[in-house]
Amino acid sequence: MLKLLYITNQPQIAQIAEDAGVDRIFVDMEYIGKEERQGGLDTVQSHHTIEDIRTIRNAVRRAQVLARVNPIHEKTAQYYGTEEEVEKTIRAGADVIMLPMFRGAGEVERFLSCVGGRAKTLLLLETPEAVEHLDEILDLPGIDEIHIGLNDLHLAYKMKFMFQLLADGSVEKIVTKIKARGIPYGFGGIARIGYGILPAEYVIAEHYRLGSTMAILSRSFCNAAHVPDKNELRALFTEGVARIRQEEKKIQQFTKTDFLNNQRKVQEIVCKIVNDQA
């Protein structure tokens, strides 16, 4: 089964997600450069803090706490540098630390050195330069997991729709290299079953075809900010995760032909979406 991740810094929402079967609660502290990259787009910019890690750590029992730090950076008058940020993240109780927006092996090596094996390391592969230097990056010891960030990567490639990277074989080329090194990986996000302009069931089948082990539950799965009633939110999470697990059981019985048919369907839907946006 896929590890499911959900972004929140709200303890009650974290508990609801955990009870529904979400595996990792995702505290998102990244802000450096994010507004410039995604300004004007309908994307999540969370502005979470170190204190949020402690809050979520105390709120959950089974789920792991994942914290996304900022890209490699130096200390300023307003914010501490990478080394101190990672140190504070570890001390606050993060089980997994995610590094975004790296471009080469040097940045990754610095991050891995900061963590020093005290938490799991998760690289967010989302720049063309990182794709270009992937072989060199994969040579580094200490990488526990890699997630391919389709949103920023498709923007960098001037694509119209993030799942173009899935449809055109780019994701497959990347994960083939990662798989050869025995490193677990995931990509993108998934919506509720039956929802999303590329329906979630097609995306989940691609996760299985490509050997992915994790996915982020997107706002299309549940935008908790728009569901103030906690009983309603609990019902949405419980049903939504259960339907994903049911779909996974069905996909686990797929034949090679089933996976190829699903891949073609993804390509057809993505092509239509891109053409409609032209």
- Structure confidence at residue 42 (pLDDT): 45
Mean pLDDT of the 33-51 span = 68
* pLDDT tens per residue across span 83-106: 999 999 999 999 999 999 999 999
If one compares 61 and 219, the residue with the highest pLDDT of the two is 61
* Domain-wise residue ranges, the chain: 3-277
Model pTM score: 0.94
Rounded to the nearest integer, the mean pLDDT of the chain is 95
Tell whether domain 3-277 is in CATH 3.30.565.10: no
Question: According to the model, what pLDDT value does residue 46 have?
Answer: 67
Question: Which of 181, 237, 199, 191 lies closest to 217, judged by CA?
Answer: 191
At residue 149, the pLDDT reads 98
* Model pLDDT for residues 117-150, shown as the tens digit of each residue: 999 999 999 999 999 999 999 999 999 999 999 9
Q: Supply the pLDDT for residue 77.
A: 84
pLDDT in tens, 221-248: 988 988 989 999 999 999 999 999 999 9
